[in-house]
Structure 1
Amino acid sequence: MQNPNINDAAQLSFDVAAQDRYFKQIEAQLAAVPARPRARSLAATVSVSAIRTAQEHDASVVGPSLVVFEEKLSEDDKQDALDSQSFAEAVVRKLPDNSTQEQRYAAYNEALTAIGWVTESYTRKKYDSKTLTLTMNDALLQILQTVISAGSGNVLSLVAAGFEKLKGDKEALKIVDSGSKNSELVSFKAVPCVVAPGGGMAMVMGGLDVYSKNYNGNFLFITINTEGVHLFQAAGVRKFNKRAFDRKRQQVYSYIDQFGDDLFKKLTS
């Protein structure tokens, strides 16, 4: 049985007026460019679960993020999570090229908050690896381990399986590579979405930023010597308020259609 207090807390903590203020900026950005054909119009008129299968939502790349799902989630929830991630990454993409990583995380977090993801915890801090060398994907698993609950032991295996699929997908790696490199910075997020305690959907996020002159493509799976390299970790847990997302669903779709080109690729076995 679901704990109604947890769901009620997510509903009560959401600021509708703040959402409307945020989307005035989004609507202004959309109004400033010619409208594009609605690539996602089918989702507005046909049940998502009727036109997709569970396997299609197994793992996906959305810009510099790997999104994976717990099987217990409904197909509608999985699609909402993918749309949320696509929206947030599209917002970050619109930032000026000289934006700092702190500004990028702030924009990413603000976008997710505005579409109904209530933050339960978030940190970004200097990351001290326990080993002298590591791969970026292994480091991300270490970070996720610090924020997942004891009852979510399958989260790490979901992410690890997603990394294995990503390793063999050249097209997806191109999306990751182009979306994460900026000067001497590589940045990537692992975003498992799971059934929240008490019901509903939760999003766990582990991010790693590496400042180094010594990378050369495919950075997720090459071994990094951490000596003298600046690493920062980001970690967070968010609970989904579907009612808040529904209020701005069409604007989210429009923004993804307009500014989300080449951000998304489904991973296959």
Structure 2
Amino acid sequence: MSNEIINIIADRPFNEAVQDKYFERVEAQLTEVFARPRLRSFAKSGGVLAGRAAETIDASVVGPSLVVFEERLSEDDKQDALDSQAFAEAVVNKLPAETSQEQRYMAYNEALSAIGWVTESYTYKKYDSKKLTLTMNDALLQVLETVISAGSGNVLSLVAAGFDKLKGDKEALKIVDAGSKESSVVSFKAVPCIVAPGGGMAMVMGGLDVFSKDYDGDFLFFTFKTEGVHLFQAAGIRKFNKRAFDRKRQQVYNYIDQFGDGLFKKIAG
């Protein structure tokens, strides 16, 4: 594969001092804005999802990401995963417009690491499709195939079902499309959250960046020719450290309150 960009990282054991240092920046950003009434759509302490424990959180859009859940995960785990994704996407959303895609993924990974998602593997590289033409959602499934184990075909089915739901949800697609309107880069991530081997929760991520606006059809479900189009993929696996998340839970909620507006939609159906 020519002209590859590859980054492979593995997080060191959780370090409270490192986490505290990261959140000094978070708290500095929060002090720059006035406190607003809590209108959260993520935390169970208030908002749209509160009081709905009986309803399974199947699939949601959080910014340019589709988050889907394995049924065996608890509702608390699902909620923590949504809050984590909302925090990371809000951090990325605040970056200057001229920030490169690689820098955006670095900020996304750093945010997740800071709230307890330990990175086991991560790559960002030029992507060679197996097909001449394909849809963005099919391409994302190909990316996920590169990081999940051979016995995890159910994860791909889970993501595919999430895409089917998303395709019929116009409001969720508006959130997805909003991030691509002003850019020459069409970018999206699929984020299945699963029960980790040995217990606990893991997050798999497959992302695709298409450096072209010449596509036919709806964002994410358009068909494009891979020939002559710059494609980059991001892929990773992370495991959740709940104790680390609990240390900064309130700060995460506060950050989403201030900077996460318009990022979230639970997919209907």
2:82 matches 1:88? no
Q: Distance in 2 between matches of 1:121 and 1:12?
A: 12
Select between 131-140 and 212-221 the one with higher mean Cα deviation.
212-221
Output aligned runs, 1:84-123, within 5 Å. 84-123=84-123
1:92 partner amino acid: V
Q: Is the 8 A contact 2:186 2:213 kept in 1?
A: no
Q: 1:130: how far off?
A: 1.1
1:238 partner amino acid: R
The answer for the alignment partner of 1:177 in structure 2 is 177
Q: Distance in 2 between matches of 1:120 and 1:250?
A: 26
TM-superposition CA deviations, 1:186-218 (whole Å, max 9, x none) = 000000000000000000000000001303662
Q: Which runs of 4+ in 1 moved over 4 A?
A: none
Q: Distance in 2 between matches of 1:12 and 1:127?
A: 28
Q: Distance in 2 between matches of 1:42 and 1:183?
A: 31
**What is the SS of the residue equivalent to 1:33?**
coil
The answer for the alignment partner of 1:6 in structure 2 is none
Q: Distance in 1 between matches of 2:209 and 2:128?
A: 12
Q: Distance in 1 between matches of 2:232 and 2:52?
A: 40
Q: 1:149: how far off?
A: 1.6
Gap change, CA 1:49 and 1:13, over 3 Å in 2: farther
The answer for the alignment partner of 1:234 in structure 2 is 234
1:156 partner amino acid: L
Structure 1 residues without counterparts, runs of 5 or longer: 1-9
Q: Distance in 1 between matches of 2:67 and 2:50?
A: 18
2:163 matches 1:163? yes
Gap change, CA 1:260 and 1:150, over 3 Å in 2: same
The answer for the alignment partner of 2:198 in structure 1 is 198
Q: Distance in 2 between matches of 1:213 and 1:32?
A: 35
2:165 partner amino acid: K
Q: Is the 8 A contact 2:192 2:204 kept in 1?
A: yes
The answer for the alignment partner of 2:44 in structure 1 is 43
2:124 matches 1:124? yes
Q: 1:181: how far off?
A: 4.5
2:72 matches 1:53? no
Gap change, CA 1:246 and 1:180, over 3 Å in 2: farther
Aligned residues: 258
TM-superposition CA deviations, 1:32-65 (whole Å, max 9, x none) = 10011123497248xx89642342x100000000
Q: Distance in 1 between matches of 2:165 and 2:85?
A: 19
Q: 1:151: how far off?
A: 3.2
Q: Is the 8 A contact 1:177 1:217 kept in 2?
A: no
Q: Distance in 2 between matches of 1:29 and 1:244?
A: 21
2:220 matches 1:215? no
Q: Distance in 2 between matches of 1:38 and 1:24?
A: 22
Q: Distance in 2 between matches of 1:54 and 1:149?
A: 30
**What is the SS of the residue equivalent to 1:197?**
coil
Q: 1:12: how far off?
A: 7.8
2:90 matches 1:71? no
TM-score, normalised to structure 2's length? 0.91
1:14 partner amino acid: F
The answer for the alignment partner of 2:144 in structure 1 is 144
Select between 235-244 and 209-218 the one with higher mean Cα deviation.
209-218
Q: 1:182: how far off?
A: 4.5
Gap change, CA 1:128 and 1:12, over 3 Å in 2: closer
Q: Is the 8 A contact 1:49 1:76 kept in 2?
A: no
The answer for the alignment partner of 2:6 in structure 1 is none
Q: 1:142: how far off?
A: 0.5
The answer for the alignment partner of 1:33 in structure 2 is 33
